[in-house]
Structure 1
Amino acid sequence: MQRRIFGKLAAGLGLSAGLLGSGALQAQEAHALFPNKTPLRMVVGYPPGGATDRVARIVADRLQARLGSPVIVENKPGAGGRLSAQYVKNAPASQPAVLLANPAVMVVAPLVFPDSGYDPEKDFRPISEVNRYEFGLAVASAVPVKELPHLLAWLKANPQQANFGVPATGSLPHFFSLMLGEAAKVPVEVVGYKGSGPLLTDLMGGQIPIAVDTLDTQIAQHEAGKLRVLATSGERRSTMAPGIPTLKELGVNLVGTGWNTLFAPQSMAPATVQRLSQLVQEVMKEADTQHKFAASNLVPVVSSAQETEKMLKAYRAQWSPVVQRSGFKP
């Protein structure tokens, strides 16, 4: 009996030593990356409570556990997210910061705001893409179509009805609507709203016939029968709406998604960026992270710095010409 108890005690001590060793390694990791356990700030260009903020808080919490030093989410809203990019670009080395940003900040804004105050390609290094999201093409219940081919035929026959509501002018849904018009050869008149809430209200009320927005904003009302999502914009069907076909499935050769990606300022050491990328990838593989993302209708992505750089180049090649052709001016 004494031997068995000792064995259990020894095992317990071994476990404790292992946990302490893990903690010591985390402390060494934090000290190596950021001297004196200086907090890492994860800057978000939008107020608390939105989708990008939720992503930041999930990732920051798990990254902090792996890094062994504080990771603080800092909200810097303003100028459509551009202030956050300017802030991180100019962050002093003594106060390390990374930026969690979407294409509106890192692709669209520099094209339509020449004086945005930053160059996404020259002033930042990608760390890792952390999530991706699709758009939904939805129609009001009163619109007399139930499938995408019928909608396209209806638009060609009734061009005066081709009003596509989007949550904001200059947003990704704005430019995706234009891309859809080009790909499907149908007229598109973009109508900008002040957010997804007012757009959804008008769509359900029939004040706007068609809407393009992120799928997560539409799916609950689609399931409740208050609007119809005819197609999604991803490469494959969405996990949150597997019953809705993609545009590609329905014969429109178009794929368009948004993302949230972590960026480091150019001043951050390349070795630090690479190590942060490795840690973020580990975070994104965790079951807890994936569960929390799924609960928020978010699609997690595991991506290295190199893979993220490749994605960004392809993304800019797809979207930049559309933004420029649109002639959009804020």
Structure 2
Amino acid sequence: MPAFLSRRKLIMAGGMALAACAPLAQAQAPAALDGGPLTLVVGYAPGGSTDRIARLIAERLTPKLGVQVSVENRPGEGGRLAAKEVKRAPAGQNVLMLGNPAVMVVAPLVIKDAGYDPDKDFVPVSQVSSYDFALAVGSKLQLDRAMFLVGRLWAHPEEAIFGVPATGSLPHFFGLMVGDALSVQPQIKGYGGSAPLAADLVNGSLPIAIDTLDSLYPQHVAGKIRILATSGKKRAGFAPNIPTFSEAGMKIDADGWNTFFAPSAMPPAKVQLLANSIRDVMKDPSLHKVAESLFITPVASNAAETTQMLKTYRAQWEPVVRRSGFHP
């Protein structure tokens, strides 16, 4: 047997090897998105955490999908304007909306005509992040444990005044969940945003506040307020010293999220491609690092997991929202 192959045989062998590898290479290559560029619509102004996470994802999706992926900000109506516009997108247009529970769960329940139906007009694609709520006390209440607050409110129910960034917001309805868990009837006091809420908590004019963890955390770190508990299943990675409500003895487990939705006219195969691509992007360690700096917990999920998450979420929140009787 010769110690080497002829040039012709070597070329033929190489060709057969390449042919054998071709199907594998094609299987490993990312599938290109047909129909042109992809637009990620955010219903809030540039610069916020929702906008920033969308841009981080867009940067990583562009090479993965083989098309330009951009972010378009459509602020207005608390995020509902974006939903109204995306639902009208034609079947051939590549567009997704980065939605949250305020837009996709609460608004259709409390607004007579929100302008869209989350179930009929949209298809869940992929959840990309979650965030916790937090219960905090100011200088007026010298407490360092959630159970101490429970005892105080049982003794002084008139102090059960929960400040929230706005009535009708997720923290508002989470505050009602907290009231149920504590067996107290809280008075919900709405503010014009997280900044004035935190200011009143710091100066002592408000005893208790409920807001997203990322909104209250800077004042907690500065020692101006104390966060007694957070709402997630486990402690937040950026706040490992703050216990969850469950750890504090209260059966509360709730969070918020950011999830991509497609207009219902988008073909199922394209929805699946986008869901899998976004899920893969959300596994990127560099994205995790930036997301956590924004006090956001990144999530990697496919379309089926996202659909199940929404079903469970609605079952938990819809009764609370309806029972509140709130309407703007």
Q: Tell me if both proteins adopt one fold, taking TM over 0.5 as the criterion.
A: yes
Q: Choose the corresponding residue for 1:113, options 85, 104, 111.
A: 111
- Paired with 1:171 and 1:161, the residues of 2 have a C-alpha distance of 21
Instruction: Tell me which residue corresponds to 2:143.
Output: 145
Q: Does 1:290 find its partner at 2:288? A: yes
Residue by residue over 1:193-229, the C-alpha shift from the partner in whole angstroms, topping out at 9 and shown as x without a partner, is: 1111111111111121111111111122112210000
SS of the aligned residue for 2:265 comes to coil
Compare 262-271 and 283-292 and name the one that shifted more: 283-292
SS of the aligned residue for 2:250 comes to coil
> How many Å apart are 1:94 and its aligned residue?
4.4
- Paired with 1:295 and 1:148, the residues of 2 have a C-alpha distance of 26
**Identical positions, percent:** 54
Matches within 5 A, 1:172-251: 172-251=170-249
> How many Å apart are 1:107 and its aligned residue?
0.3
- Paired with 1:77 and 1:34, the residues of 2 have a C-alpha distance of 28
- Runs of 4+ aligned structure 1 residues displaced above 4 Å come to none
CA contact (8 A) 1:125 1:266 kept: yes
One-letter code aligned to 2:190: G
Residue by residue over 1:53-81, the C-alpha shift from the partner in whole angstroms, topping out at 9 and shown as x without a partner, is: 11111111111121121111111111111
Q: Does 1:301 find its partner at 2:299? A: yes
Q: Choose the corresponding residue for 2:255, options 248, 254, 257.
A: 257
Instruction: Tell me which residue corresponds to 1:83.
Output: 81
SS of the aligned residue for 2:132 comes to strand
Q: Choose the corresponding residue for 1:99, options 94, 97, 100.
A: 97
Instruction: Tell me which residue corresponds to 2:64.
Output: 66
- Paired with 1:316 and 1:121, the residues of 2 have a C-alpha distance of 12
Instruction: Tell me which residue corresponds to 1:8.
Output: none
Residue by residue over 1:118-165, the C-alpha shift from the partner in whole angstroms, topping out at 9 and shown as x without a partner, is: 111111111100000001100002213221111111112222221111
- Paired with 2:141 and 2:196, the residues of 1 have a C-alpha distance of 19
> How many Å apart are 1:166 and its aligned residue?
0.8
- Paired with 2:69 and 2:205, the residues of 1 have a C-alpha distance of 44
> How many Å apart are 1:95 and its aligned residue?
3.3
SS of the aligned residue for 1:83 comes to helix
CA contact (8 A) 1:62 1:289 kept: no
CA contact (8 A) 2:91 2:267 kept: no
Gaps of at least 5 residues in structure 1 are: 1-20
Instruction: Tell me which residue corresponds to 2:14.
Output: none
Instruction: Tell me which residue corresponds to 2:3.
Output: none
- Paired with 1:164 and 1:34, the residues of 2 have a C-alpha distance of 50
SS of the aligned residue for 2:102 comes to helix
- Paired with 2:139 and 2:236, the residues of 1 have a C-alpha distance of 22
> How many Å apart are 1:93 and its aligned residue?
3.3
CA contact (8 A) 1:100 1:260 kept: yes
Instruction: Tell me which residue corresponds to 1:4.
Output: none
Give the number of aligned pairs: 304
- Paired with 2:52 and 2:271, the residues of 1 have a C-alpha distance of 22
Instruction: Tell me which residue corresponds to 1:34.
Output: 34
One-letter code aligned to 1:34: D
> How many Å apart are 1:87 and its aligned residue?
0.6
- Paired with 1:114 and 1:121, the residues of 2 have a C-alpha distance of 16
- TM (norm. structure 1) is 0.89
Say which structure is richer in helix. 1
Instruction: Tell me which residue corresponds to 1:315.
Output: 313
State the structure with more CA Rg.
2
Q: Choose the corresponding residue for 2:48, options 29, 47, 50.
A: 50
Instruction: Tell me which residue corresponds to 2:327.
Output: 329
Gaps of at least 5 residues in structure 2 are: 1-24
CA contact (8 A) 1:129 1:308 kept: yes
- Paired with 1:295 and 1:239, the residues of 2 have a C-alpha distance of 10
- Paired with 1:49 and 1:163, the residues of 2 have a C-alpha distance of 32
- Paired with 1:155 and 1:270, the residues of 2 have a C-alpha distance of 51
One-letter code aligned to 2:34: F
SS of the aligned residue for 1:169 comes to coil
Residue by residue over 1:259-294, the C-alpha shift from the partner in whole angstroms, topping out at 9 and shown as x without a partner, is: 000011100000000000110011001122112112
One-letter code aligned to 1:237: R
